Amino acid sequence: MEKYLVSARKYRPTTFASVVGQKPLAATLKNSIATDRLAHAYLFCGSRGVGKTSCARIFAKTINCTNRTADGEACNECASCCQFNENRSLNIIELDAASNNGVDDIRQLIDQTQVPPTEGKYRVFIVDEVHMLSSGAFNAFLKTLEEPPSYVIFILATTEKHKVIPTILSRCQIYDFNRITIADMVDHLAYVAAREGIEAEPAALNVIARKADGAMRDALSIFDQVAASSLNKITYASTIENLNVLDSAYYNRLLEAFLSGNVANALLIYKEVRDHGFNNHFFLTGLADYFRDLVVARDPKTIELLETDSEHRAHMAELAAKCTPKMLYRAMDLCNTADLNYRTAANKQFLVELTLIKLCQADSPSPDEGDGEGQKLQPIAAIPPTITPSTPRPTTTATAPAPAPAPAPAPAPQPVRQTPVSAPRPKASVKKIASLGPSISINPAAAKKPAAEQTAMPAATSEARTIVPAIDKEPLTADGVRRAWLSFADAHTSEHVLASTLRTCLPQKSDEDAVTFKISYESPAQADTLDKWLPVLTRELAAKLRNPDLRFVTELVSGEGSPLAWTEKQVLEHLMDQNENVRKLVESLRLSLD
């Protein structure tokens, strides 16, 4: 019974024609032999499993072959070829620099170069993993590598060319080996399967080739593993199960959830992935690769960058056609950001789930981006659907009301009048006019009046008016103003000072179009924030309340400014009064807010 030999060794190339994925380089080596233009030193560079050492052996055997074929291959019949095939050739010496990397090892190699060949024309020295040589060994090798005897040829091989010193590189002819393409690996695996009598689905071989990441030796090793587990019948299902590969069907289902904005489905699919034992980071990087494949599959010019069979390319192109370029680019950016934050994330599952939620919204318009015509979306509330053109109102300078000993009580809330909704009119009917009341500048530092005196802030001049679309005017109600005011606060929770100020300084309707709110001149941060946001607040509330003449009147008061605005000390004192355990805790630990 013949002893079993792994496919990576059994189907190792023995001729230039059998080298997979390196045809231009193999042709160059054959031509140099045919024209007898051989260099004294070669450096073969490339990633693992691409055929560097195999090509070095084929090259060395062909150099000494005495009866080469018409196409420049070794005959495998002459004495030199037979000795090489039986591993007893004295003219071809291999050295593993990973384990023989010292100065003494190189000196022994140099001594061997002094012995001429007994048969053939050349002695060929193959030094594998040459980048592992020590600095002293490199220096000891320099002189011999530059001027070896006429019958000596050195073939150096490395996976890390950048670690080879420049003085070695300058003495060699350098050949860079390409990564084996998916198509070449699939073809070779199909050939091996046919020779071994193994049934293999093309989709399964494609998965093996992608898993090998450009290394033919790895692909053959994986092929043997899958063939053994599936009893010589390699199917797509058995392959992804044996290799623990995430099926692309999961990503296809996720894409449907993203396009439909279905957050629940996206999270449930992710749970299925985790239940199958896949790592969060593995899933995240796979999702990023999936979106990258969709991007290149969307354009016929770049679809060739998708290393797979034609059937899978057509399927990816069909899926990519459902997505907009903006959505795909945003999705790639979200996946990249999540990948960068993955290591530092305390809750990695939450990071992935948050990314999936954002991806479900990747196809929706963003207020920070253009509307498709190069114009940015304005940060205003939704304009009421009934819009009618009107003429601009005259611009006037508003004056503040006279100081009063106490603010007038707010009138009782009035029911809000419901306006029937009609279809929006064309853009041509929308006109922008200066119809809002002036914005207000708040300067607490200027308020230096007694504590008991209340001061109304002066309104700004007409130059500060805000431009909004013309809308039908409706009367203001205190309840409606408060709801719109708090809605604006809820929409700007990221602006912490603004949101807190709006929730504490609640407005009161004072007359037909004026709204009054109080603020303490002892809180300059709140006043500065309102001063900055008041034009935007006025514009949005005017649109929402359908009152273009809306204006705000600010009253500076001393003390708290609002019964809802408590300081940290007031909050702590309130908690201590309400709960004796809190008081004991603060006193026992001597806690303070200072």
Give residue 39's pLDDT.
92
What local confidence, expressed as pLDDT, does residue 546 receive? Answer: 78
What integer pLDDT is reported at residue 1 of this predicted model? 55
pLDDT at 467: 46
Give helix 568-578 / helix 580-589 axis angle, nearest 10°: 120
CA distance 204 to 223: 10
Element housing 530 (H / E) = helix 524-545
Residues 6 or more apart whose Cβ sits within 8 Å of residue 492: 498, 499, 533
Q: Tokens at residue 442, please?
A: 């708040």
- For residue 346, give the amino acid letter: A
**Pairwise CA distance, residues 207 & 247, whole Å:** 10
Instruction: Give the DSSP letter string of 30-87.
Output: HHHHHTT---SEEEEE-STTSSHHHHHHHHHHHHH-SS--TTS---S-SHHHHHHHTT
* Structural domains of the chain in order of their starting residue, each with its CATH number: 7-176 (3.40.50.300), 182-243 (1.10.8.60), 248-360 (1.20.272.10), 432-557 (no CATH), 564-594 (no CATH)
Task: Compute the Cα dihedral for 525, 529, 534, 537 and give only its sign.
Answer: negative
Q: Residue 449: which H helix or E strand, with range?
A: none
pLDDT given for residue 472 in this prediction = 60
**Residue in the structure block whose two tokens are 């058995």:** 238
Residue 198 neighbours by CB under 8 Å, 6+ apart: 192, 227, 232, 233, 234
**In this predicted structure, what is the pLDDT of residue 259?**
92
CA-closest candidate to residue 515, choices 564, 471, 456, 567: 456
From first to last of the 594 residues of the chain, give the pLDDT tens digit.
Answer: 567 889 998 899 988 999 998 999 999 999 999 888 999 999 999 999 999 999 999 999 999 888 888 888 898 888 888 988 888 888 899 999 988 889 999 999 999 999 888 777 899 999 999 999 999 999 999 999 999 999 999 999 999 999 999 999 999 999 999 999 888 999 999 999 999 999 998 889 988 998 888 899 999 999 999 998 888 889 988 898 888 888 888 999 999 999 999 999 999 999 999 998 888 999 999 999 999 999 999 998 998 888 777 888 889 999 999 999 999 999 999 999 999 999 999 999 999 999 999 999 887 665 444 444 333 444 434 444 444 444 444 443 334 444 444 444 444 444 444 444 444 444 333 333 333 334 344 444 434 444 434 433 334 333 334 444 455 677 777 777 888 878 888 888 777 677 777 777 777 766 666 777 666 655 666 777 777 888 888 888 788 777 777 777 776 665 544 444 455 676 777 788 888 888 888 888 888 776
Q: What is the C-alpha separation between 377 and 367, in angstroms, rounded?
A: 6
CB 309 within 8 A of CB 206: yes
Q: What pLDDT does residue 335 have?
A: 94
Output the pLDDT for position 357: 94
Residue 498 has what pLDDT? 77
User: Both tokens of residue 255?
Assistant: 């894409």
Per-residue model confidence (pLDDT) at position 317: 92
Q: Integer distance in angstroms from the first to the last C-alpha of the chain? A: 87
Residues in the chain: 594
Per-residue burial over 177-194, b = 16 or more CB atoms within 10 Å of its CB, e = otherwise: bbbbebebbbebbeebbe
